[in-house]
Amino acid sequence: MKVSAAILKKKTIDIFKKYKLTSKQAKISADIIIKAELVGASSHGLSRLKMYINRIKRKLINNSPKIKIKKISKSISLIDADNAIGFVGGDIGIKQAIKNAKSTGIGIVAVKNSGHYGLSSFYAEQAVKKNMLVFCFTNAPPALAPHGSKKSLFGTNPICFGTPTGTKVPFILDTSVSLVNRGKIRLAAKLGKKIPKGSALNKYGKPTTSAIEALEGVQLPIAGFRGSGLAWMVDILSGVLTGGNHGGKVRDPFDDFTGPQNVGHLFIVFKSNLFLNNYTSRIKQNIRNVKKLPKVNGIKEILYPGQSKFRIYKKNMKKKINIPKKILRDLNDL
């Protein structure tokens, strides 16, 4: 079934408000969920709505959080999100980091006691729109095995970097350190689809294309031990450093209802003119240098990170979003 983004956003806000999120919390959450659908990342969109509601119903997401912002210096803040829905914890975190950077040139904000916050790129966009560069880190439930281990411990911990480009299309690299992100595997399992070969092992350590077996087993990192090392780095930055859970202690939001997730986020934001006043002209030249390189057969244009999603978003804004029957059934139930 195809539904307009505006209707889906209103229905999503209504559902969150039904389960006692405030209007502001519901709007922040719905904006991010529907934008995920619009950029083609349905694995982080409406397919997760039922999970968030299940955790709110069990009081594992606090719908009346007392969020505390501790000022460590003019540039540095620590936020206790009090188990708020992750979208709210992430939104407050990036806005505080931007505020700090406006004051001193650089803003560093750690967030603890948060939850899954969707796509990191949406937080990066906020900083880029203010002509700032940004790094976003967040950890996740166990999915990847540390190199040399056969048991998963690290999440698919995304790494996100963004910069203004002097155009309407920002450069935003948002990538998990697994070959396939966890959300895509969960969505594939829900819809009965296969996953790519070489992306996961089953619980017996054998390669599998079954999404269900992958969820029970281990996902494989990008670039072998290097990907495992990057996952560990993100676990340190967003878990150990912030006061969030780490080392395999982040609870799976779909399956583990023994307590809140206590996900950690880290935002590092700084002005683009921190060292030079001609950053815009330099980044434009940098991108031009790459785009004019000779292309391999079948490639019409060399795209920088963020361009493809921006084009998908613009295209999808003009048409209705296709909602699979199983996802639509979840929405109707809610």
What single string gives the DSSP state of each residue in 144-185?
A: BPPTT-SS--B----EEEEE--SSSS-EEEEE-SBSS-HHHH
The whole-angstrom separation of Cα 290 and Cα 270 is 24
Instruction: Name the residue with tokens 């001193």.
Output: 104
Confidence (pLDDT) at 120: 98
Confidence (pLDDT) at 1: 85
**Alpha carbon of residue 162 to chain centroid:** 13
The whole-angstrom separation of Cα 78 and Cα 151 is 32
| Residues facing 201 on adjacent strands | 207, 218
Please list, in sequence order, all residues whose beta carbon lies within 8 angstroms of the beta carbon of residue 132, skipping any fewer than 6 positions away: 98, 101, 164, 269, 270, 271, 272
The whole-angstrom separation of Cα 95 and Cα 54 is 28
Closest CA to 288 of 171, 179, 127: 171
**CATH match of 65-178+221-274 with 3.40.50.1980:** no
Confidence (pLDDT) at 148: 87
Answer for the pair 144, 221: CB distance below 8 angstroms, yes or no: yes
Structure tokens at 262: 């206590």
Confidence (pLDDT) at 233: 98
Please list, in sequence order, all residues whose beta carbon lies within 8 angstroms of the beta carbon of residue 23, skipping any fewer than 6 positions away: 13, 17
Other beta carbons less than 10 A from residue 259's beta carbon? 11
* Rg of the chain over all Cα atoms, to the nearest angstrom: 20
Answer for the pair 1, 323: CB distance below 8 angstroms, yes or no: yes
Counting as low any pLDDT under 70, the low residues of the chain are none
Confidence (pLDDT) at 26: 98
SS3 of residue 306 by DSSP: coil
Task: Note the pLDDT tens digit of each residue in 60-101.
Answer: 999 999 999 999 999 999 999 999 999 999 999 999 999 999
